[in-house]
C-alpha cells in the first residue's frame, strides 16, 4: 500500500522549497549589499586619504626648497604616526564590520527561528483543523452512503415491481431516474472524500499484477451503456489478449470512469468514444478518445488542476474528475496527459508500469 504522510504533501513540500529558495535569495542580496556598502566606504576612505596625501605632498615640496634637518626628522616621526594611526583605523573598521556581520547573522537566525516557530504552530493548527474536517466528512459520508443505499434499494424494487407486473411505464422511468440520481450522489461523495485524501497526502492505492486487457474488456459494456443513453457510440479497439501491469483494479476503473464521463459530457449525440491499449517498453498506455468539442491548446495542462473549468460559464460538474484521475494515476507510478484538436475531439492517455 502506498501512502504519503501529510508532512510530505505536495503543497507543503512546495511551500518549504519556495521558502528555502527565498531565504537563499535574501542571504545573497544581504551579502551583496554589505559588500557594496563596504566597498563604497573603502572607496570614500581611500579617496580622502589620497586627497590628504596630496595636500601633504604639496606642503612638503614647499618645505624642501629650504631644507631643515629638524623638520625632516619631524616629518619622519609624523609619517610613522600617520601610518600607525591608519593601521589602527583599518583594524578597528575591520573589527566593526566583522561584529556587524555577526550581529546581522544572529538577527537573521533569530528572525528565522521565530518564523519557523510560527509556521510550525500554524501548520499544527491547520493539521488539527484538517483532521477534524476529515473526521466530520467521513462520518457524514458514511451516513449519506447509508441513506443513498436505502434509496437505491427501494428504487430498484420499484423498477423491478413495475417490470414484473408490466405496470405503469412512468413508474419504471421514475424509479430509474432515482437510481441515476443516487449513483450521481454516490460519485460526488466519493470525489469529495478523494479530494480530502489527496489534499491531506493520504490517498491510498493497492497496486497488484493483473491483466489490464481483461479489465478494459469487462469495463467496456457498462461504459457502452452509459454512452448509449446519450446516443454516443462506444468502441474498444483490438487489444492484445493479455497485458499484465501493476495497478489498483478499483482505482483504474475509477480513472476510466472519470475519463469516459468527461468524454460523454463534451461529445454530442452521434459522436464516438474509443478505448485503446498499447504496450510501450516498460509501461502500458491506455487511451480514451472522443469526437467531442475538443480543448484549446493553452488549457491542456490546466484541465488537470482541481476545480478547473473550460470556461467560467461551464458548470457541468465541479472540475474534479481529471484532477482526481491524475492523482490516482501518479499514485500508481504512471503519467497522464491530453491531446486535442478543437472541434475534432480529444484523447486522454495514461500509463501504468508493466508487471
Q: What is the pTM of this model?
A: 0.56
Nearest Cα neighbor of 227 from 174, 267, 287 is 267
Sequence-separated contacts (24+) of 112-121 with Cβ below 8 Å: 112/23
Task: Give me the residue label for grid cell 501504468.
Answer: 352
Q: Per residue of the chain (355 residues), give pLDDT as tens.
A: 444 444 456 667 777 777 778 877 877 777 777 777 777 777 777 777 777 777 677 666 666 666 666 666 666 666 777 777 777 777 887 778 888 888 877 887 888 888 888 888 888 888 787 777 677 667 777 777 777 777 878 777 777 777 766 656 767 777 777 777 777 777 777 877 788 788 777 888 999 999 999 999 998 888 888 899 889 999 988 767 889 999 999 999 999 999 998 899 899 999 999 999 999 999 999 999 999 999 988 888 888 887 666 555 554 555 688 999 999 999 999 999 999 999 889 999 999 999 8
Helices 249-266 + 212-228 axis angle, to 10: 30
pLDDT of residue 6: 43
Three cell numbers written together for 119: 509556521
- Cβ pair 144, 160 in contact under 8 A: no
pLDDT of residue 35: 76
For 347, phi and psi rounded to 5 degrees?
Answer: -135, 125
**Cα angle at 57 between 54 and 59, to 5 degrees?**
110
- Cα(232)–Cα(60) distance, rounded to whole angstroms? 105
Three cell numbers written together for 275: 478505448
- Cα(233)–Cα(226) distance, rounded to whole angstroms? 10
pLDDT of residue 143: 73
Task: Give me the residue label for grid cell 575591520.
Answer: 94
- Cα(56)–Cα(320) distance, rounded to whole angstroms? 81
pLDDT of residue 72: 65
Spacing of C-alpha 119 from chain mean position: 20
Q: Is 212 exposed, middle or buried (0-12, 13-18, 19+ CB in 10 A)?
A: buried
- Cα(273)–Cα(220) distance, rounded to whole angstroms? 11
Please give the C-alpha separations between residue 107 and each of 21, 100, 116, in angstroms, as whole numbers.
19, 10, 14
Q: Domain 208-353 carries which CATH code?
A: 3.30.565.10
- Cα(278)–Cα(310) distance, rounded to whole angstroms? 29
Task: Give me the residue label for grid cell 469487462.
Answer: 218
Identify how many contiguous H helices and E strands the chain contains and give both numbers.
6, 7
pLDDT of residue 105: 79
Q: What residue spans define the domains of the chain?
A: 8-130, 131-199, 208-353
- Cβ pair 350, 286 in contact under 8 A: yes
Task: Give me the residue label for grid cell 595636500.
Answer: 55
Please give the C-alpha separations between residue 86 and each of 90, 100, 129, in angstroms, as whole numbers.
6, 21, 63
- Cβ pair 333, 353 in contact under 8 A: yes
pLDDT of residue 279: 92
- Cα(94)–Cα(110) distance, rounded to whole angstroms? 24
- Cβ pair 196, 137 in contact under 8 A: yes
pLDDT of residue 4: 45
Amino acid at each position: 500500500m502506498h501512502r504519503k504522510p501529510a508532512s510530505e504533501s505536495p503543497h507543503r513540500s512546495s511551500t518549504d522549497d519556495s521558502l528555502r529558495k527565498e531565504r537563499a535569495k535574501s542571504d545573497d542580496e544581504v551579502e551583496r549589499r554589505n559588500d557594496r556598502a563596504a566597498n563604497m566606504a573603502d572607496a570614500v576612505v581611500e579617496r580622502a586619504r589620497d586627497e590628504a596625501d596630496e595636500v601633504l605632498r604639496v606642503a612638503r615640496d614647499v618645505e624642501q626648497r629650504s631644507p631643515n634637518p629638524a623638520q625632516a626628522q619631524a616629518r619622519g616621526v609624523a609619517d610613522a604616526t600617520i601610518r600607525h594611526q591608519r593601521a589602527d583605523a583599518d583594524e578597528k573598521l575591520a573589527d566593526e564590520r566583522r561584529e556587524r556581520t555577526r550581529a546581522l547573522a544572529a538577527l537573521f537566525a533569530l528572525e528565522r527561528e521565530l518564523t519557523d516557530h510560527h509556521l510550525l504552530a500554524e501548520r499544527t493548527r491547520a493539521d488539527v483543523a484538517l483532521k477534524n474536517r476529515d473526521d466530520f466528512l467521513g462520518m457524514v459520508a458514511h451516513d449519506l452512503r447509508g441513506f443513498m443505499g436505502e434509496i437505491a434499494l427501494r428504487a430498484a424494487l420499484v423498477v423491478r415491481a413495475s417490470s414484473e407486473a408490466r405496470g405503469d411505464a412512468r413508474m419504471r422511468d421514475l424509479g430509474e431516474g432515482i437510481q441515476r440520481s443516487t449513483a450521481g450522489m454516490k460519485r460526488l461523495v466519493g470525489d469529495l472524500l478523494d479530494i480530502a485524501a489527496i489534499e491531506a497526502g493520504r490517498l491510498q492505492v493497492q497496486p497488484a499484477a493483473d491483466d489490464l486487457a481483461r479489465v478494459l474488456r469487462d469495463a467496456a459494456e457498462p461504459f457502452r451503456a452509459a454512452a448509449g443513453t446519450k446516443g454516443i457510440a462506444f468502441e474498444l479497439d483490438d487489444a492484445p489478449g493479455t497485458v499484465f501491469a501493476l495497478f489498483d483494479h478499483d482505482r483504474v476503473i475509477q480513472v476510466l470512469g472519470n475519463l469516459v464521463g468527461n468524454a460523454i459530457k463534451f461529445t454530442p449525440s452521434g459522436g464516438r468514444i474509443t478505448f485503446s491499449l498499447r504496450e510501450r517498453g516498460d509501461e502500458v498506455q491506455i487511451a480514451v478518445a472522443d469526437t467531442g468539442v475538443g480543448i484549446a491548446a493553452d488549457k491542456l495542462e490546466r484541465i488537470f488542476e482541481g476545480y478547473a473549468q473550460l470556461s467560467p460559464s461551464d458548470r457541468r460538474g465541479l472540475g474534479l474528475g481529471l484532477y482526481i484521475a491524475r492523482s490516482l494515476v501518479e499514485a500508481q507510478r504512471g503519467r497522464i496527459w491530453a491531446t486535442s484538436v478543437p472541434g475534432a475531439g480529444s484523447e486522454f492517455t495514461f500509463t501504468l508500469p508493466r508487471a
